Amino acid sequence: MTGLPESEVDVLIIGAGPAGLMLALWLSRLGVKTRIVDKRTSKVYSGQADGFQVRSLEILDSFGIAERVWKEANRMLEVAFWNPDQDGNIVRSAHAANTIPGLSRFTESVLHQGRIEQFFLDAIRDSYTSASAALRVERMVIPTSLEIDESKAEDPDAHPVTVTLRHLTEEEATPTQMLSNLNDGIFRSNLADDDVGDILDRSKGREARDEVVRAKYVVGCDGAHSWTRKTLGEEFEMKGETTDAIWGVMDIVPITDFPDIRFRTMIHSTSGALMIIPRENRIVRLYIQLKEVSAGGGRVDRSQITPDFIFKSAQKIFSPYKLEYHYCDWWTAYQIGQRTGDHFSKLNRVFLAGDAVHTHSPKAGQGMNISMQDSYNLGWKIGLACKNILPRHVLSTYELERKKIAKDLIAFDGKFSKLFTGRPAKDIQNETGVSDDEFQKAFHTSRMFTTGVGVNYQPTVFVAKESEETDNDNGLKKSIAKSTPSLATNCKLGQRFPSYKVIRQSDARLWELHHKLPSNGRFRLVVFGGDISRPSQRDSVNALGAWLSSYLPKLPTINLSPGSDPHSGSMKFKTDADPSIVEVLLVHTAPRDEVDMLRDLHETYHPFDSKLGWDYDKIFADGETMYEEPQKAYEKYGVDPGKGAVVGLRPDGYVGLVTSLDHGGQEEIQNWFDGIFQNE
Amino acid sequence: MTGLPESEVDVLIIGAGPAGLMLALWLSRLGVKTRIVDKRTSKVYSGQADGFQVRSLEILDSFGIAERVWKEANRMLEVAFWNPDQDGNIVRSAHAANTIPGLSRFTESVLHQGRIEQFFLDAIRDSYTSASAALRVERMVIPTSLEIDESKAEDPDAHPVTVTLRHLTEEEATPTQMLSNLNDGIFRSNLADDDVGDILDRSKGREARDEVVRAKYVVGCDGAHSWTRKTLGEEFEMKGETTDAIWGVMDIVPITDFPDIRFRTMIHSTSGALMIIPRENRIVRLYIQLKEVSAGGGRVDRSQITPDFIFKSAQKIFSPYKLEYHYCDWWTAYQIGQRTGDHFSKLNRVFLAGDAVHTHSPKAGQGMNISMQDSYNLGWKIGLACKNILPRHVLSTYELERKKIAKDLIAFDGKFSKLFTGRPAKDIQNETGVSDDEFQKAFHTSRMFTTGVGVNYQPTVFVAKESEETDNDNGLKKSIAKSTPSLATNCKLGQRFPSYKVIRQSDARLWELHHKLPSNGRFRLVVFGGDISRPSQRDSVNALGAWLSSYLPKLPTINLSPGSDPHSGSMKFKTDADPSIVEVLLVHTAPRDEVDMLRDLHETYHPFDSKLGWDYDKIFADGETMYEEPQKAYEKYGVDPGKGAVVGLRPDGYVGLVTSLDHGGQEEIQNWFDGIFQNE
């Protein structure tokens, strides 16, 4: 016994950056008892990560946050490529689409990290019935020890992870570096030293302010210097390459005659490479290759790196265009390198996410995105395991699914960084080097990966698909359900279900289908019913409805928290009944006026509540409206209206099953869900 | 001397409903010293007005509020008409578009009044640099006397209106009716008595809590029982028709098998008429004709009118469909009548707006809209007069412009109410009555009026157009500028400038042009420059730019408040320079890549600031993007790209001038602005 205060929690999150906050938001929406601690005194106020990839925006939209980003962020629609001409002057070689057109309703956007952290905090608060009950970030708190009671690791009701937390004073929590030089842009850069040791030193003798927390799960979202990772042991160390290349970053309001200053622009000049990221509020971020400093195999001399030095490098690259500034919002510098770990979890009780398991260079705007997507992948799995809705073994899918992304990420980043900093082919000094064509081609082929939409999860209980040639057997339990991918050719197994607009049967309103699939813990069956004005098709849909009405009640139920339906207004007058863990939506192609949804369709598609009447929000049509062009959703989803399809979705919106409307489909649905919810 | 505290203010607003709050928001954005008082203890929490017409949404969007309405509100896209068949059972005769397709980016929407009041309060607060400096509604305050010093009425610097305000206790401010029966839905209905007399009685002997306010302007937004109107004298009395027809209103969560319950629906049955207004959060509003009660030439017996009585009437009309409910959110009843006044202002020092000068029946969803649009019309005129930017005589345009709307409104309402409550033609009792065709036709012809987009202001200094045959000479000063309407055939003089999407030159982002025309007090010149890649066209545009750069500095300037550019993020790094009262925007049709906006175009179109560089937010293109279909803005605005046009806009977005790009156009621009800004 330590004599310290002790308490229990379901999940303890260490670190309140984007990865930690995404996880906290998920767990809030799922109603899981959670704490989140951070060593810093406040959230980020400027600079830092700023790129939002389209998949991240879709995910944020599933919590109702994306509209705030979308409104405030700068949208990067086109990318410009500039290269030296024969005289060594930079000239534009092309404008191209920065995001693949048609891929998503969003395009890549930029907004500083402090705003998204604020949006997360607001959304977390909105997940509770009162602000006073809401999860809050506990700042100026660091863990000092972590132990797992391995004997209880597989007990679903145990709290086998013990963490000691230390509550710091503001003085103890403020980095020495910040105290000594508030203008030092290297703070938080990968050129800065880890300061946890310092903090612990400063707080020695203050153990009376420690407390002991027993958690079911602990997640380290504590960044590149992750204390959690180091504490888990040597086998968790990240490995990879660190180059000698140093880049500077400046967020300025530029005064320039360069014509593409408000486009994302990649400049290869004879004086080095530079990338322009136009941002909100007239700010522009410049990533600037610093040719005159080098880590030289060791540590770089940080005193060399000043805003003035970085800016002079930028001016040389921009020449003959003029570049000046009056306002600088933020600056930093970093060393290029790529590292990742082999283990993302210990005993499926302690997990690592975000920069704690992969670091790389920031220019491709991937870091915050992959980090948030790590914990987006983990959140519902941990959350539903805490609620005993999912068996513990499914937690292994986290490492399986996200380690592959991390490896892909550092491979991409290594290649992209080399291409970007390579000497341009038309360099006045020689004709070797990276050609503009080669660079542009690499940019375009990487777009599917960089948008985040290319993510393709492997076969597990969650994804009923055949292994692809590149998949090794991952040793995890597989689904015994068999999908029929040809029934929905653009709903690809293991990939995110895309969003197209459909018309609500009850009131003719067009909805992005994603807006009916919010992140609230529920699995979904999207029933593509085809032309239900044809009796045979309607009969199939109703037979499926009847079967579901007897099967689904055997599955678990879940209580929805406030905020669980962020696109449909408040929860006032929402249903009070416990909903099934599986929600059923119908999308048909019949003329809307020929469908009387209450009389023609099985109640599965319009559940009844004795106080609220029927639910009018589950049936949608693909067809004509009086205001807009037909949306052709069936064509875009790749579904034949004459056959229809049933698409099964995980709570994170990834496709897990594609099957038929008929009796065979019922069997596969049962196989899929049984494999997910039943213990081994 | 009264011995009471005395103070000065530019504008005193009496009443904090939608009309008063719209005015308060305008004046906040203009930085005008304002107070707003209301006799009630709190804002509205449920029920009341709920319909948002498309023009209202466009106006709210010009302050950045519409997106909140648009997100939370229910959108009414289609309207259903139901009538008795030969057996007297109601059947659907048609589904039709509820808003004219293509008219606006918005459609009619419904959300309860309490929400929009909240959005106004939030937007007012966002107009100040700090929350503590922000204008707040002073609740539980009533005026007890109002006097105008007529000798100073025309002195622009005088505060000739003296008002005594009484600060009430909560007990004094709470209506007796509410104290006695919290569930009385008639509270705030036009069947309820005015309670100002009661309040004054209750607060007698408390004159020590009075204060005296000297104002430049006072605006009565104090509703149908307007104390301000009554105080101005008999000639301000409203006149009109009061019928014996009584209607009930219920906001319920219906439990019904009626298939169109989530559509706006007009039911004519043999048991009376009923309108369905589907609302947010599963609520549906029913307007129910109460055939069994009548005012009978006098006052109705209010004790007869209970929720149960109203609901039974609704059930009869719905038959043979079933209708039940568990939740009732609000209910009321009202007597149909139409009244308006002949005077909207006294000496252009005290004004009336909203229900204080026009009352009518609520079913067409006009009341809140016309009220907000009254004070939207008035706000910039008073505000710019207070700042000595506009001469006082322009204030006469308020009554001119809005009295016509009020007259049109009560004419429309009288006609629509009669048609709606007329016996249906196929009534089982006889074959006379209102035919469904006749009713539907009246609905469709009224849509341009009911959307608010049909508003067409008469010739004044603000609108340089020829009088139409229906316009009487209104006696107000006219503009000497001559418009050439054929140059922009869909930018109609006196009507609101429509919004279509254009592409920002600097970053390829599509913008609704309205989003670049926020309500911040500025007049605008939208220069449709045509294909500026052709030298002759570019020369015209640049010649105009050069002339504007010498003319515009002669006009007044205006400081923009926070919130003045609600669609472009925060005001951080916005220009510090005093902007001209006239903003210039350019929309061209040249291929974007062939335009270098800084080198090719006059600085008028990209103003320079020594700390912030050039402004990249004034030049737009109509053409191709990589993501969306071409928007064809020129075609929609009715502008020939070979000729171009200049469209002059008032601060409220109404078209005041259409002229040419050439030298003749410069003269008309000067004529137009000189007529507006120069005193008589």
Nearest by CB: B613 against A72, A253, A625? A253
> What confidence score (pLDDT) does residue A180 get?
44
B638 within 8 A of A278, measured Cβ to Cβ: no
Q: What are phi and psi for residue A593, nearest 5 degrees? A: -70, -15
Nearest by CB: B77 against A508, A567, A610? A508
What is the CATH topology of the domain spanning B6-451? FAD/NAD(P)-binding domain (3.50.50)
How far apart CA A140 and CA A203 sit, in angstroms, is 11
> What confidence score (pLDDT) does residue B360 get?
85
Nearest by CB: A95 against B76, B280, B593? B593
- CA distances (Å), origin A406, targets A21, A230, A317, B243: 20, 19, 32, 74
Complete DSSP assignment for A651-666 = TTSBEEEEE-SSHHHH
Q: Is the pLDDT of residue A430 over 80?
A: no
Label residue A574 left, alpha or beta by phi (over 0 means left) and psi (-120 to 50 means alpha). Answer: beta
Residue closest to B566 by CA, chosen among B614, B496, B530, B516:
B516
B286 within 8 A of B317, measured Cβ to Cβ: no
> What confidence score (pLDDT) does residue B42 get?
78
B657 within 8 A of B540, measured Cβ to Cβ: no
Catalytic-labelled residue, pool B279, B285, B339, B402: B279
> Is B50 designated active site?
yes
Both tokens of residue B260?
């169109």
How many beta-carbon pairs under 8 angstroms link A with B? 141
Q: What are phi and psi for residue B77, nearest 5 degrees? A: -95, -40
| A384, A387, A389, A393 alpha-carbon torsion, rounded to 10° | 70
How far apart CA A622 and CA A177 sit, in angstroms, is 59
Chain A residues in contact with B598 by the CB 8 A cut-off are: 257, 259
How far apart CA A374 and CA B200 sit, in angstroms, is 64
Q: Is the pLDDT of residue A67 over 60?
A: yes
> What confidence score (pLDDT) does residue B528 get?
98
> Is B362 designated active site?
yes
CB contact under 8 A, B97 and A597: no
> What confidence score (pLDDT) does residue B123 get?
96
Chain A residues in contact with B572 by the CB 8 A cut-off are: 281
Chain A closest CA to B156's CA: distance in Å? 38
Q: How many CB atoms lie within 10 A of CB B666?
A: 18
Using CB atoms within 10 Å of the CB of residue B556, give its burial: 0 to 12 exposed, 13 to 18 middle, 19+ buried.
middle
> What confidence score (pLDDT) does residue A176 get?
59
Amino acid of residue B496 = R
| Minimum CA–CA partner of B265 in chain A | A507
- CA within 13 Å, CB half, B525: 29
**Residues A347-358, mean pLDDT to the nearest whole number:** 96
> Is A565 designated active site?
no
Q: To which H or E segment does residue B86 belong?
A: none
> What confidence score (pLDDT) does residue A206 get?
77
> What confidence score (pLDDT) does residue A428 get?
47
How far apart CA A137 and CA A221 sit, in angstroms, is 13
Chain B closest CA to A97's CA: distance in Å? 6
How far apart CA B657 and CA B424 sit, in angstroms, is 47
A241 within 8 A of A36, measured Cβ to Cβ: no
How far apart CA B547 and CA B189 sit, in angstroms, is 57
**Residues A337-348, mean pLDDT to the nearest whole number:** 94
CB contact under 8 A, A77 and B627: yes
Per-residue DSSP letter, B324: E
Query: What residues pair up with A269 in beta bridges, in sequence order?
Result: A272
B122 within 8 A of B136, measured Cβ to Cβ: no
The average confidence (pLDDT) of chain A is: 90
Give the rounded distance of the alpha carbon of A483 from its chain centre.
26
B20 within 8 A of B40, measured Cβ to Cβ: no
pLDDT in tens, A250-297: 999 999 999 999 999 999 998 999 999 999 889 999 999 998 777 666
Q: To which H or E segment does residue B311 belong?
A: helix B307-318
CB contact under 8 A, B569 and A327: no
> What confidence score (pLDDT) does residue B122 get?
96
B57 within 8 A of B66, measured Cβ to Cβ: yes
How far apart CA B585 and CA B523 sit, in angstroms, is 11
CB contact under 8 A, B627 and A598: no
Under DSSP, is residue A71 helix (H, G, I), strand (E, B) or coil?
A: helix
Both tokens of residue A430?
């020689």
Q: Which of these ranges, A176-190, A644-658, B431-445, B582-596, has the smallest mean pLDDT?
A: A176-190
Percentages of chain B per state (helix, strand, coil), in multiples of 5: 30, 25, 45
A539: Cβ contacts below 8 Å, ≥ 6 apart: none
Judge: domain A485-677, CATH 3.40.30.20: yes
> Is B334 designated active site?
no
Both tokens of residue A493?
């197994």
Q: Parallel, antiparallel, or unpaired: how do β-strands A51-52 and A109-110 relate? A: antiparallel
Listed as ranges, residues in chain B with pLDDT below 70 are 1-2, 43-47, 175-188, 295-299, 423-433, 469-472, 569-572, 574-578, 680
Q: Parallel, antiparallel, or unpaired: how do β-strands B523-530 and A34-38 relate? A: unpaired
Q: How many CB atoms lie within 10 A of CB B94?
A: 14
Both tokens of residue A668?
């596969």
Residue closest to A354 by CA, chosen among A225, A165, A181:
A225
Nearest by CB: A253 against B102, B253, B612? B612
> What confidence score (pLDDT) does residue A575 get?
63
| Minimum CA–CA partner of A98 in chain B | B626
Nearest by CB: B257 against A263, A507, A598? A598
Using CB atoms within 10 Å of the CB of residue B102, give its burial: 0 to 12 exposed, 13 to 18 middle, 19+ buried.
exposed
Both tokens of residue B639?
């502008």
Q: How many CB atoms lie within 10 A of CB A609?
A: 17
**Residue ranges of chain A assigned to CATH 3.40.30.20:** 485-677
The sign of the CA dihedral B666, B670, B676, B677 is positive
Catalytic-labelled residue, pool A362, A424, A518, A566: A362
How far apart CA B521 and CA B559 sit, in angstroms, is 9
Chain A residues in contact with B612 by the CB 8 A cut-off are: 253, 255, 282, 326-327
A75 within 8 A of A108, measured Cβ to Cβ: yes
A526: Cβ contacts below 8 Å, ≥ 6 apart: A497, A513, A585, A587, A646, A647, A649
A186 within 8 A of A192, measured Cβ to Cβ: yes
How far apart CA B434 and CA B418 sit, in angstroms, is 9
| B217, B223, B224, B226 alpha-carbon torsion, rounded to 10° | -40
Q: Hunting for tokens 């040419």 — which residue is that?
A: B660
Both tokens of residue B605?
């179109």
What b/e sequence results for B17-39 when a residue is b if at least 16 CB atoms lie within 10 Å of its CB, and e otherwise?
A: bbbbbbbbbbbbbbbbebbbbbb
Chain A closest CA to B368's CA: distance in Å? 22
When scoring A263, A318, A321, A627 by the number of chain B Cβ atoms within 10 A, the one with the most, hence best to mutate, is A627
How far apart CA B445 and CA B108 sit, in angstroms, is 16
CB contact under 8 A, A283 and B573: yes
**Residue ranges of chain B assigned to CATH 3.50.50.60:** 6-451
- CA distances (Å), origin B51, targets B54, B287, B496: 10, 13, 20
Of A465 and A363, more confident: A465
pLDDT in tens, A103-134: 999 999 999 888 999 999 999 999 998 889 99
SS3 letters for B141-194?
Answer: EEEEEEEECHHHCCCCCCCCEEEEEEECCHHHHCCHHHHHCCCCCCCCCCCCCC
Chain A residues in contact with B126 by the CB 8 A cut-off are: none
pLDDT in tens, B627-665: 999 999 999 999 999 999 999 999 999 999 999 999 999
CB contact under 8 A, B507 and A78: yes
> What confidence score (pLDDT) does residue A619 get?
97
Both tokens of residue B484?
């050439």
ipTM above 0.85, yes or no: yes
Per-residue DSSP letter, B85: -
Of A383 and B87, more confident: A383
Q: Hunting for tokens 């005129």 — which residue is that?
A: B381
Give the rounded distance of the alpha carbon of A220 from its chain centre.
16
> What confidence score (pLDDT) does residue A200 get?
81
CB contact under 8 A, B77 and A626: yes
> What confidence score (pLDDT) does residue A539 get?
97
User: What is the number of residues in chain B?
Assistant: 680
